[in-house]
Amino acid sequence: METDNGKGIEMHTIDFVNNSISILDVNLKDIKMRYGKIMYLVIACVTVGCSVQKEEVLKVGDNQELIEMLVADQEVRNDENANYEPTDLRHRRRIFELLADNKIVTNNDRFNAALILQHTGVIYCNDVLKSNSAENFLLAYSLSNSAYNSGFQKAANLVAANYDRYLLFTKGYQKYGTQKVYDEKSDSFLWAPIDSLTTDAERAKYSLPKIEELLKQAKMKKFVN
């Protein structure tokens, strides 16, 4: 990323997020141990008198509870004056339980869960906007990225958005250019600082505009380390 004086700021975005995902994997294991339930989708069938083991893969449909949660998530946001947090908190806790029970299985499940998790609340702390739990954005990124890598193109924008949101609330900048922040001086929403090392080809992968187009839509805030 570059500041106004043209000096480059080296950002180890990939290493930072990959390391965080490793921590996330450990946390997911802790969740599963806590709830003590793991559903296996593959049933091993052993034929008597035969050493050959056959596997029967169960066909699993989309999680209806997650679909209903997503509908509620969107409906509560129709009222700009509503307090979203009670609903969001209840949904987040339920998603953790579903993950522990291995009930978030299909690409639609992962997409729906990621969409709900990205609504983790934010608060102002010493005039700085902070996330209540930035790790939820990382989990949302992991879920949406898993769906995308399985051919679920619908998740493309969500992958970039969750990646950006996690970086924004932990490092102060974003990689792709999906997040805007309010600027008091201009009384307008500006792009949060965007990593200048990100190429337009990387943005295109997730169906995002080129940096030139983004900067036509709004100005970008200066990165403050």
Residue 110 contacts residue 146 (beta carbons within 8 Å): yes
Q: What is the mean pLDDT of residues 180-204?
A: 94
Residue ranges of the domains in the chain? 13-173
Q: How many CA atoms lie within 13 A of 202 on its CB side?
A: 15
For the cut 60, the answer to whether the pLDDT of residue 111 exceeds it is yes
What percentage of residues in the chain have a pLDDT greater than 70?
68
- Comparing CA positions, the residue from 146, 143, 121 lying closest to residue 134 is 121
Tell me the two tokens of residue 213.
């187009």
Neighbours of 163 (CB within 10 A): 25
For the whole model, what pTM was predicted?
0.71
Buried b / exposed e across 89-126, counting CB within 10 Å, b at 16+?
eebbeebbebbbeebbbbbbbbbbbbbbbbbbeeeeee
- For 187, counting Cβ atoms within 10 Å of its Cβ (0-12 exposed, 13-18 middle, 19+ buried), the class is exposed
What percentage of residues in the chain have a pLDDT greater than 90?
53
Q: What is the mean pLDDT of residues 114-135?
A: 70
pLDDT band at 4 (very low <50, low <70, confident <90, very high): very low
